Amino acid sequence: TDPALIRNFCIIAHIDHGKSTLADRMLQITGVVDDRSMRAQYLDRMDIERERGITIKSQAVRLPWDGHVLNMIDTPGHVDFTYEVSRSLQACEGAILLVDAAQGIEAQTLANLYLAMNADLHIIPVLNKIDLPAAQPEKFAEELAGLIGCEPSDVLRVSGKTGEGVRELLDHVVASVPAPVGKADAAARALIFDSVYDTYRGVVTYVRVIDGHLSKRERILMMSTSATHETLEIGVISPEPKPSELGLGVGEVGYLITGVKDVRQSRVGDTVTSAAKPAGEMLAGYEHPKPMVFSGLYPIDGDEYPELREALDKLQLNDAALVYEPETSAALGFGFRVGFLGLLHMEIVRERLEREFGLSLISTAPNVVYRVIMEDGSEHTVTNPSEFPSGGKIAQVFEPVTKSTILAPAEFIGAIMEICQGRRGQLKGMDYLSEDRVEIRYELPLGEIIFDFFDQLKSRTRGYASLDYEPAGEAEADLVKVDILLQGEAVDAFSAIVHKDKAYGYGVDMAKKLRELIPRQQFEVPIQAAIGARVIARENIRAIRKDVLAKCYGGDISRKRKLLEKQKEGKKRMKMVGRVEVPQEAFVAALSTD
Ligand code: GTP
């Protein structure tokens, strides 16, 4: 295709503002999907995505429109996937900024808009859901115009649901989004903006060709790893994969298949070039995915450990950001320490392990990565609280911090500031987007955000606030490790790294929780919270002689036997911490956040 006829664009929107619905309507209006086979949310393929209504994996669809070729590139909507969003944006020249006409701009809209502006994309402001009785297009057109510096009348109005305004929007994309420019006769350079594992075909790699040309049956080179592969198939998605004999030229968006079985061999952000005539320089901005949040994952039934390993191996084929290594816990047995991009990523992985692989799991409280510098100058990277050096020779501890943006109605400013202040936040700035809506910017430790921050924010603002954050380096903090001891024995799964001012609170809460959850033993069991050798909280579980047979009256021998058997079975699920028997459920309950 002549690059002058190509328009590459994406839709950026906050969750639930209607991106998928609009995309569906575009597929239908351009005739790519006929009305009969129209399936709601065609682009969201994974079950979890559909059920939760979130888009995790970006995809690209080619839409014919008015003699032009529109490539619609789907961007993931959530903060954890900022890097993937940035790569998808890099593959485009324009972005539709889609805002719910009844809700207005939200934190994610803003974060993604900033990314799109950084990528120099042409922005098309659009209000969606104008069919809603609660829509306030005048008000929010003003807000949008103020934000991107255009006139309120430049803001398009559509309904993804009824289709109103969607044709005009497509015309507008053709008229206003710049055509791609690249060097047709230069060495090939294509940007990988997504890479998806398919059971039958292996990895499907989505690319945007910047310069040159990629063909079928060509040896290609992945520039970040220097690995070479052969393109077995190359083509475009419209809406199903359509192989192309001509390959892909400048400005085109499509997919290629090389037969590799692991997405780590075809990484988002990498540059594909020709092995025979490689480009001199790769495209800018490649980053290795970096896990930010770690948690221990253990099978509730210890026998399922091999299944858990196998499941993680399989998930990793499709998820280059997932990392894990085996770990053993005295309390929980054999499991894995798993690294994630963020909280949502963690939830998704957990859910897939449980749903697709039928595993029952316990996870330890998530933690971030700390950098600990000792007085002798040595340095430790801590991804697991139990590895935190406990000697007194720590000179400095660094933790990751974020640039966080919160958008909310102005009436909640006080509540939001209180939450952020309570979590060691530093106010960086505040702006009114309109009379009654503010954008509040904070520097917040990531470790504080991953600990029920969303829930707090939601409940204190009655769900009206939205949050977005991006990594912003690290900062020194006064952090300590709190251990929880049962009868003098530390229970590794409950160790946590917390700020000095919060250590006492954590210790008291944990000790109380465990006192209620752990059944009495035949001897007294002290529960202590300690920083190093210093005990900061203590509870006692009083001794009891429990006799299951006491419950039985009369001499029904079979009933007695049943009870004894039951008790034996219960014992199997007991974990020993020193001499203390702790039912698995107690750990599970103590580790669950609610
Ligand atoms: P994520 O994939 O989570 O980012 O969500 P999304 O932005 O793709 O939103 P989606 O298309 O799933 O729409 C969210 C909800 O809004 C759904 O219940 C849609 O039916 C509804 N919706 C989307 N567009 C419109 C519209 O134009 N009018 C009305 N009334 N409802 C809409």
Encode 53-104 in three state secondary structure.
CCCCCCCEEEEEECCEEEEEEECCCCHHHHHHHHHHHHCCCEEEEEEECCCC
Q: Residue 21, annotated ligand binder? A: yes
Residue 520: DSSP 8-state: P
Tell me how far the alpha carbon of residue 37 lies from the centroid of ligand 1, in angstroms: 20
Instruction: Please identify, by atom number, the ligand 1 atom nearest to the C-alpha of residue 21.
Output: 11
Q: Which of 70, 433, 60, 81 is nearest to 254 (CA)?
A: 60
Q: Are the beta carbons of 7 and 179 closer than 8 angstroms?
A: yes
Greatest Cα pair distance, the chain, in angstroms, is: 94
Residue 364: DSSP 8-state: P
- Name the one residue in this structure whose structure tokens are 């032009």: 68
CA distances from 460 to 239, 435, 485, 506, 516 (A): 43, 21, 34, 22, 28
Q: Best of 15, 16, 45 to mutate for ligand 1, by most ligand atoms within 8 A of CB?
A: 16
Cβ < 6 A, ligand 1 pocket: 13, 15-21, 53-55, 77, 128-129, 131-132, 159-161
Q: How many CA atoms lie within 13 A of 266 on its CB side?
A: 28
Which three-class secondary structure state does DSSP give residue 581?
A: strand
Instruction: Please identify, by atom number, the ligand 1 atom nearest to the C-alpha of residue 13.
Output: 7
Contacts of 85 by beta carbon, 8 Å cutoff, 6+ apart: 12, 75, 76, 112, 115
pLDDT at 548: 53
List, as own/partner pairs, every contact residues 571-577 make where C-beta atoms lie below 8 angstroms and the sequence separation is at least 24, other chains included: 575/331, 575/332, 575/333, 577/330, 577/331, 577/486, 577/487, 577/489, 577/491
Report which protein residue has its CA nearest ligand 1's atom 19.
18
Tell me how far the alpha carbon of residue 42 lies from the centroid of ligand 1, in angstroms: 13
Q: Cα–Cα distance between 484 and 398 in angstroms, integer? A: 23
pLDDT at 564: 59
C-beta atoms surrounding 138 within 10 Å: 12
Q: Residue 29, annotated ligand binder? A: no
C-beta atoms surrounding 375 within 10 Å: 11
pLDDT at 57: 45
Instruction: Please identify, by atom number, the ligand 1 atom nearest to the C-alpha of residue 23.
Output: 11
Instruction: Please identify, by atom number, the ligand 1 atom nearest to the C-alpha of residue 77.
Output: 4
Residues in the chain: 594
| pTM recorded for the entire structure | 0.78
pLDDT at 78: 65
Two tokens, residue 284: 């800018």
pLDDT at 474: 95
Per-residue pLDDT of the chain (594 residues; tens, 9 = 90+): 899 999 999 999 888 899 988 998 998 999 988 766 665 555 544 554 445 444 434 478 999 999 999 999 988 766 677 788 888 999 999 999 999 999 998 888 888 888 899 899 999 999 999 999 999 999 999 999 988 999 999 999 999 999 999 999 999 999 999 999 999 999 999 999 988 888 788 888 999 999 999 999 999 999 998 999 999 999 998 888 889 999 999 999 999 999 898 888 899 899 999 999 999 999 998 888 888 899 999 998 888 999 999 999 988 887 888 999 999 887 788 999 999 988 888 888 998 899 889 998 888 888 999 999 999 989 999 998 988 987 668 999 999 999 999 999 999 999 999 999 999 999 999 999 888 889 999 999 999 998 778 888 988 988 888 888 888 999 999 999 999 998 888 888 888 999 999 999 999 998 998 888 888 888 888 999 999 889 999 999 888 765 555 554 555 566 666 655 655 554 556 677 777 888 777 777 777 654
Tell me how far the alpha carbon of residue 40 lies from the centroid of ligand 1, in angstroms: 11
Predicted ipTM of the assembly: 0.97
Q: Which amino acid is at 253?
A: V
What is the gyration radius of the CA atoms in the chain, in angstroms? 27
pLDDT at 218: 94
pLDDT at 325: 93
